[in-house]
Structure 1
C-alpha cells in the first residue's frame, strides 16, 4: 500500500532539497509545485520535526495556521511550495523522519490517519 504525503515549504529550493533527501526511499509520483496564494488561507500544518520527535504522534505537535501563531511563534504565512509524493506504507515513518530534517511542514490531519 502507498501513502500520499504532502509537505509545505517556504521556498522551491527547500522543497527540491527535501525531495533529493527522500530519493533513497521507495517513493513515486513526486512533484514540487507552487502554492496559489489563496490556498494558504486554509493551511493547518505542523512542523515535520515535531512528528519525528513525538514518535509519529501528530497530536503532540504544535499546530500552525496561516492567521495564528503557536507557542513557538511560528506562522504558516509564506509557504510557497508543496512537495507531493507517494511512499510505501512501511517507509512512511522514515519519510516523515527525513522531512523532519528539513524545513518541511505537513498537514496534521493527513498524518494522523497514517498512525491509526
Structure 2
C-alpha cells in the first residue's frame, strides 16, 4: 500500500534536493511547489529534532513539547516556503522520512501519531 507524504522546507533548494534523493526509493507523483500564504502550518513539526527509536517509528518528545513550540518550532514556520508531495510504498516510508529529515524537512504531526 502506498502512503501520501507532504514535507515542508525552508528553501526550494532543500525541497528539490530531497526530491532528488528520494529518487533512490520507489516514489511516485513527486512534486515541489511554493506553499500558499494562507496555508495553516500549525500541525507542522521539524523532523530534525526527531530520533529513530529502532522500532520503525519516530519519537517527537522534545520537538512537540509546548516549551519548544513557544520558542522554536511554531515561530520558525513562517520561514517554510516550499512543499514536496509524493507517494511511497509503506515498506520504504522510514527511509523516505530519513531523507526528508536530512534535508531539514518538516511534516504534519498527525503523520506520526
TM-score range, shorter chain: 0.7 to 0.9
Give the alignment's TM-score, normalised by structure 2. Answer: 0.81
User: Residue 33 of structure 1: CA displacement?
Assistant: 1.0
Deviation >2 Å, runs of 4+:
54-61, 68-74
Structure 1 unpaired stretches of 5+: none
User: Residue 86 of structure 1: CA displacement?
Assistant: 0.3
Structure 2 unpaired stretches of 5+: none
Answer yes or no: is 1:101 the counterpart of 2:84.
no
Answer yes or no: is 1:26 the counterpart of 2:19.
no
Greater relative contact order structure (CA < 8 Å, 6+ sep): 2
User: Residue 46 of structure 1: CA displacement?
Assistant: 1.5
User: Residue 84 of structure 1: CA displacement?
Assistant: 0.5
User: Residue 26 of structure 1: CA displacement?
Assistant: 0.7
Q: Please give the root-mean-square deviation of Cα atoms over the aligned residues, in Å.
A: 2.3
Report if the CA contact (8 A) 1:10-1:80 is conserved. Answer: yes
